[in-house]
Amino acid sequence: MGTVIVTGSARGIGAATAALFADIGYNVVINYNTSEAEALALCEKITANGGRAIAVQADVSKMSEAKHLFVEAKKAFGAVDVLVNNAGIAQQKLFTDITEDDYDRMFDCNVKSVFNCCQCALPDMIHNKYGRIINVSSMWGVVGASCEVHYSASKAAVIGMTKALAREVAPSGITVNCIAPGVIDTPMNKGFDEETITALKEETPVGRLGTPEDIARAIAFLADKNSGFITGQTLGIDGGFI
């Protein structure tokens, strides 16, 4: 099937995506920054089930470390065919309380990481006249969220980058798409109290939170060779929330 890099894939959406790609036959590069134990456990699980995977530590918000990730991937499996830019952070804060450091860290983790990894992936994809890039945004990047202005802005930037890059690389057989998850049951949302979670379920027309697997299946669809006429799109996976 080829080789996929999933950034931020030790937990949550990234881990579910890495596991699904392994199940359908891809060589999987699991990327993590600080969650080493979870990344190694996922790698061991994939290989125990007959899949092929490696785990690579890299803070992809830094170009030097993103380059290291791609060097290790190519050393193990050859050129990368699919890139899933999933690494990111969230933070709830009143706009007037957001510091310059908060803002810079948000954009480094959520936007610069996408830029870095796309730049690393594209030379081989352009050479091979084939590639799939899927960027993980958020429904808040589409409509904005109170008390998450810097997060919403960073995820909107990912959507803009996706649309522009898709136009630029389409002649080389490369698609670039974006997914905009709704409220997903992941560690990123564990900070919400039970009352908030219940309210979010009630606001979601399908009546539940999304699962990491819901998102992983959509990513796999966009990564499929038969999805070559879909590019520059933002797919909302939010249970009808927006």
- The pLDDT tens digits for 136-176 are 999 999 999 999 999 999 999 999 999 999 999 999 999 99
Mean pLDDT computed over 96-117: 98
What are the C-alpha distances in Å from 230 to residues 82, 171, 201? 15, 13, 30
Answer whether 87's CB lies under 8 Å from 7's CB: yes
Average confidence (pLDDT) over 218-230: 98
Question: How remote is the C-alpha of 136 from its chain's centroid?
Answer: 4
Spatial contact of 186 and 8, defined as CB atoms under 8 Å apart: no
The catalytic position among 26, 32, 130, 151 is: 151
User: Does the annotation mark 26 as catalytic?
Assistant: no
166-220 confidence digits (pLDDT tens): 999 999 999 999 999 999 987 767 667 788 888 888 889 999 999 999 999 999 9
pLDDT tens by residue, 74-96: 999 999 999 999 999 999 999 99
Q: Which of 123, 137, 25 is nearest to 74 (CA)?
A: 123
Domains and CATH numbers, the chain: 3-237 (3.40.50.720)
Distance CA 51, CA 23 (A): 7
Tell me the C-alpha distance between 107 and 194, whole Å.
29
For the whole model, what pTM was predicted? 0.95
